[in-house]
Structure 1
Amino acid sequence: MLKIETIQPREELREYIDFYYLIRNECADFKNTHYSFPHTVNAVTIYKEAAFYSSFTESNVSHDSANNFITVLQGKRQLPLKVNIAGKTDRICIWFKPLWINHFINVPLSDVMGKTSKRFTNWDQDPAYLTCLKACFEKQDATQRIHCLEEFMLSKLQPLNTDRLNKALQLLCDFEKAYTIDEIANDLAMSIRTFNRTFKQMIGVSPVEYRSIARFRHSMNDKLFSSSLKKLTDIGHNSNFYDQSYFIKMYKKLAGSAPSDFFSAIEKLGDDKLIFQFLT
């Protein structure tokens, strides 16, 4: 049985980090397969004693005592990801808000992130990182683990001027007004070419790709967390899917199934912050 805990960041990091979640399992025979879905956040996962492999559509994590720690940066994909877990599991995931991971790395995000999840070694160059992880995973209490990790995170924090990109994210996610990419670039006093290049460097995907993922997440949250029972047609309209056929088409691409099938299959975990579809 997976033990999932979510922890909120301390006040100094709330601008940058949405939350942390910890997953632990002590059973050597444990096996689990589930789907995770495209997200606008940037997720960094730290595994203890694990072997990790990922392709464009599937990730495999298994217990391997030969590996001390592995850090993985989730790819910015537009497809559901099948995740296979085998054996003991002990991991911490940091969910950075869109754009904000750039304040903790010394290269553009596009240099270290791709469409698939892969090893993230940017922090490995700092000896304090390994010291931090050893101390962190020795603790059993989730809050103490995160407190230890956050001491390292604060040491890596280097505030950047991201005002224009912050505004771009807000405009891209304004589904009521639905600004065009040209309009957003003009509002930021940037050429289309410069805007697309800068956005991809710092976010990891193009503005069009980001808005597609953000629209999917907006519609999903509208359905799952609304105080009233909403029809799928209303949800699609609220997220500016211009017709029902396009709404269904995009869900089949991003979630792997039509909206009605998707919402009947998923589960909310970790204080409703995680959305998975379990297969086993």
Structure 2
Amino acid sequence: MQYPTTPCLSKYIKHYLVFDIPSNGQKRYRHFSNGHNGIVLTLKKEEFVSINSKTTLPETFVFKQISDNQDFYISGATSIVIVLFQPFGLYNLTGIPANHFVSDFEDSSLIFGKEILKLKNQLQSSSNSNEVINHLNSFFTHKIKSNNPLINPFLSNSIQLVHNKKGDISVNDLCAQIGVTERKMQRMFSKQIGVSPKKFICNIRLHHFLSLLRNEKGFLSLTNLSLQAGYYDQAHLIKEFKKIVGFAPSKYQKTKRLAVNLIEF
């Protein structure tokens, strides 16, 4: 289930997600890029393994911006809390450049210290979702007050413009409207977000298409939806979709989804 954060945190955190995964043996999931990074906190100790890297993940880890998708499996029942940052939120809260992360998943304690383990214990002891959200808000409000992060206005305006255009904008046009060189734009995105401007734009356009697909009532064809989302044609959509998600839109529609970009298959 999705929960909002407080107004003062909304500049840095998009929302929280809380899931209960029942015990039905080993389940395989796929996470694909959406323009955000975040923190995962597993509240019940079960095996959480990245299939791509063939490693068992920590009970709490940071996932960075990814180019396409990551597969993992969970054995047994567990509860998961996800903190989904705004594109530059993790950088602003930690001061760590996004391009300094070596792997797709990093132990949260290496970034946030023992405080994150204390937070996880608080979440595990919570009796309901409201308590969970209150602990999360308290933790990140303290981080903001301690760090006093500054948001780059050029980057913030760039992200807002891409969202306003729903990903239907070129990097050249983005630079021209924001008033920075392409080189500066590339550096800002690499350092604070972790992907190139082009990749970020592709992610936003894809997720705009997914929102159209979710709200479509059967009146429009895939071709019409692809044109409405800013793709040249259906072939262009399917090529980009497969590159990011790993398979065609028709298969995606048949999957069981915990979130838009978190699917069981």
Q: Give TM class, smaller chain.
A: 0.7 to 0.9
- Runs of 4+ with deviation above 6 angstroms: none
Correspondence 1:79-228 to 2 at 5 A: 79-112=68-101, 114=103, 116-120=104-108, 121-124=110-113, 127-157=114-144, 158-175=148-165, 178-226=168-216
Query: Which segment is superposed worse, 245-254 or 186-195?
Result: 186-195
Q: Note the C-alpha offset of 1:151.
A: 0.9
The number of aligned residues is 260
Q: Which runs of 5+ in 2 are unaligned?
A: none
In the alignment, the residues of structure 1 paired with residue 251 and residue 80 of structure 2 have an alpha-carbon distance, to the nearest angstrom, of: 30
Residues 52/268 of structure 1: CA separation in 2 closer, same or farther (3 Å cut): closer
Q: Report SS of the residue matched to 2:90.
A: helix
For residue 50 of structure 2, the aligned residue among 49, 54, 67 is 54
**CA drift at 1:219:** 0.4
1:45 paired with 2:34, answer: no
1:181 to partner: Cα distance? 1.8
Asked whether the equivalents of residues 59 and 84 of structure 1 are also in contact (C-alpha less than 8 Å), the reply is no
- 1:248 maps to 2:235: no
Q: Percent identity?
A: 19
* Runs of 5+ unmatched residues, structure 1: 62-68
Q: Structure 2 counterpart of 1:102, which letter?
A: Y
RMSD (CA atoms): 2.8
SS at match of 1:13: coil
Which has the larger displacement, 43-52 or 251-260? 43-52
The residue aligned with 2:16 is 20
Q: What is the aligned counterpart of 1:267 among 252, 256, 261?
A: 256
Q: Which stretch shifts more, 72-81 or 49-58?
A: 49-58
1:231 matched residue in structure 2: 221
Equivalent-residue separation in structure 2 for 1:56 and 1:98 (angstroms): 23
> More displaced, 136-145 or 8-17?
8-17
Three-state SS of the structure 2 residue aligned to 1:81 is strand
Give the secondary-structure state (helix, strand or coil) at the position aligned to 2:28: strand
In structure 2, do the counterparts of structure 1 residues 276 and 232 end up closer, same or farther at CA, with 3 Å as the change threshold?
A: same
Change (3 A) 1:244 1:58: farther
Could you tell me the TM-score, scaled by structure 2's length?
0.84
**Is structure 2 residue 258 aligned with structure 1 residue 277?**
no
C-alpha separation in 1, matches of 2:67 and 2:167: 23
TM-score normalised according to structure 1 size: 0.80
Change (3 A) 1:130 1:60: closer
Q: Does residue 1:6 correspond to 2:2, yes or no? A: yes
